[in-house]
Chain A
Amino acid sequence: MRIVVDEQLCKGHGVCMGEAPEVFSVTRKGELTVLQPRPGAALRAQVEAAVKYCPTGALSIEPGE
C-alpha cells in the first residue's frame, strides 16, 4: 500500500501520528512527515485507523507496492 496525502486538506491535527506513530510524524506547528510512505502489511490496521480518523480527510491509501 502507498499513503497519499492531500496537502491542501491536511491541517496538522496529528491524529495520524496518534494512530500510527511509526508511519506519521506531526510537529506542534502542524507539519506532517510521512516516515514510511509505503508501510508494510503489519502496519495496515494502524494506517487504516489513521485514514479513518483524520479529521480533515486528508489521507488515503492506494494499493500496490
Chain B
Amino acid sequence: MQTTQDAAPNQPAKVARRGRPIPRLSGGLPLVGHLVPFVRTAVQLLERARAECGDVAAFDVGPKKMVLLTGPAASEAFFRASDDVLNPSEAYKMMVPVFGKDVVYDAPPAKMAEQFGMLLPCLQDRRMRSYGEVIAAEVERSLESWGDEGVLDMYEYTKVLTNFTSSTCLIGKDFREDMTDEFARVYSDLERGITPLAYLNAHLPIPSFRNRDKARVRLVEMITHMIKERRRTERESDDFLNVLMNTKYKSGAALSEHEITGMLLAAMFAGHHTSAVTAAWMMLELTRKPDLYGRVRDEVFGVYGPDGAVTYPSLREVPVTEACVKETLRLHPPLFMLLRVAMRDWEYDGYFIAKGTNLIVSPTVTHLIPEVFADPTRFDPDRFGPGREEDKQPFAFQAFGGGSHKCLGNAFAMLQIKTVFAILMRRFTFSSYGDPLEPDFHGVVLGPKQPCRVRYRRILPREAERFTTGARERGAKAAPGGVSSAAKTPPATAATAVAGQCPFTAAPSPEAGSDGGAR
C-alpha cells in the first residue's frame, strides 16, 4: 500500500506528476502529517480539508497519502469506479481482526462477491415483508419493563433494541433467545477495537485490540456451539445462520465455522450500531422540535390508530416519519468516511491521483454543503418533500454510500427505524431531558454523546383515542393497506394544524417550521 511518490508533507506539486496539483491541507507535521487529528478528531479534520481545499483535498496520515473527495460530482467518480481501480478491500483491513481472515473484505474479490451474495437473500424484498412484524414485536417487548413514566438514555436503549432486532432478523430467533450477558460483553469488546487508530495499524499491542482479539475467539466458540447444536437436533429454521450452514461456494466447499462467524458478525456490525445511532439521533432531534414531533405522532396515529399492526405495506404510508429518518441520516450519517485504495494511477477532474493513494468520501462533510442541501445544519425533513427534493441530486445523499458497494441493508434499515417510531410514538410521549446534543467522536460510528436522556410518559388509552381522532380530523389517513396515497398529502398542512396539540408545544419551535422560512 506504499505510494509511489516520495513527496514531503506540504509540498503541493509533488503528488501531481501530471495534471493539476491537488490542493493540500495546511498544518501537517513532518513525517506524521495529520496523524494526530486524524485519530482524535477525524471529522473536524475532514471538514477543515473541504473548507480549505474544496472538492479534492490531499493530506498525509503518517505514511499514508490521503485524498478526500466531497460534493456529488467527486463522490460519483469515487462510487462509480470499478474495484480494479478503486478498491474497498484494501481500505477496510482494519475490520479483518473483527470479521476474521479470509472473510468479506479480506477474501479475494471473487470470494468476497460470493460471500456478499449469500447475505443478499436475507435482505431481499420477499424476506423483508416479514421483518416489520418481528421488529414491532421486539419493540413492544422492550417496553414491558418501562413503567408509566421515567427517564432513559436513548442511545443505550436503541443499542440494546437493535441488537435484538438485527440478531432476530438476520441470524435467528434461537440466537436472540439465547443471547446472554456474556454475548453482549464480548460483542462490545469487539466493537471497541474499531477505531480510526485501527485503520493505521490494527495490530498495535494496546488493551482495546487485545480484548478485541480475545472477544473474537470467544465468539467463534459460542457460534460454533450453536451450529453444532443445530446440526445435532437437525432443527430447520428460516434464518441467516441456517442459510450459511447450508450454502456452498461455487467450488462445492462448505463454509467453515470461522467463516460463518465472520459473516454473522459482518451482518451484525453493518446493521446494529448504524441503526441504533440513527434511531437515537432521530428521537433526540424530534424531542427538541415539538412541531415536528407532533407531525410524526399525528402521522402514526392517523395511519395505525391506537393499536393497528405495523405492516410492510403500511410503512409506505408514513412519509413524514420517513423524511425524518432520512433527515436524521443526512445530518448524522452513521459512517463519516468511506474508503478506497487506488489500485492504479487514477485521474479525477484533471487531478492526478497516484496508485496507492487512500481515497475518502465523507457523507458527513458532503451532507453539509450548502449548495447541495439548503441551510445544511438545520434539521428540516421537508427538504425531501415535493418541490424541493434535495435528495434527488445523484450521489448527494450518501448515508448508505453509493455505486456497486452501496449498503445492502438500506431498505432493512429504513423499515426498522420506521417500525420503531410507529410503535414508540403511540405508546409513550417523549420529551427532552436537556442533555446537550452532540456527537461522540470516539469510534467509527458516530452516535450522540452520552448521557443523552429523554423523559417518557405512557400514553393512556383515552389519550390514544384522542390522538387518533385528532390526527384523522387533521387529515392524516388511516392505513388503506394498498398503494400509497398518503405520500401525496403535503406534509406542511399537517404541521400547521398540529402545532399546539402536543403537550410540549407551548412555544412552537421556530426551527421546526415547515416552510423553510429560515432561508
Flag whether A15 is at the interface (Cβ < 8 A): yes
Question: Are A15 and B406 interface neighbours, CB within 8 A?
Answer: no
Residue in B123, B125, B404, B408 whose CB lies within 8 Å of A8:
B404
Known contacts A18-B125, A26-B124, A29-B120; A11 and B411 CB within 8 A of each other: no
CA distance A25 to B484 in the complex (A): 22
B403 within 8 A of A: yes
B240 to chain A, nearest CB (A): 13
Given contacts A45-B483, A56-B406, A56-B410, A12 and B124 within 8 Å (CB-CB)? yes
Q: Interface residue count for A (Cβ, 8 Å)?
A: 18
Q: Mark A6-32, 1 if CB is under 8 A from B, else 0.
A: 001101111101100000001011100
A49 on interface, CB distance cutoff 8 Å: yes
Q: Mark A23-65, 1 if CB is under 8 A from B, else 0.
A: 0001011100000000000000100010001011000000000
A8-B403, A15-B411, A49-B483 known; A29 vs B124 contact (CB < 8 Å)? no
B 304-323 contacts with A by CB, 8 A: 316
- Nearest CB in chain A to that of B410: its residue: A55
Q: Is B117 an interface residue (CB 8 A)?
A: yes
* Residue of A with least CB distance to B487: A52
CA distance in complex: A11, B117 (Å): 9
User: 1/0 per position for B395-439, CB-CB distance to A under 8 A?
Assistant: 000000001101010110010000000000000000000000000
Which residues of chain B are within 8 angstroms of A29 by Cβ–Cβ distance? 117, 120
**B490 within 8 Å of A (CB atoms):** no
Mark interface residues in B118-139 (1 if CB within 8 Å of A CB, else 0): 0011011110010000000000
B403 to chain A: which residues have CB within 8 Å?
8-9
Interface residues of B, Cβ cutoff 8 Å to A = 80, 117, 120-121, 123-126, 129, 316, 403-404, 406, 408, 410-411, 414, 483-484
Binding site for B on A (CB under 8 A): 8-9, 11-15, 17-18, 26, 28-30, 45, 49, 53, 55-56
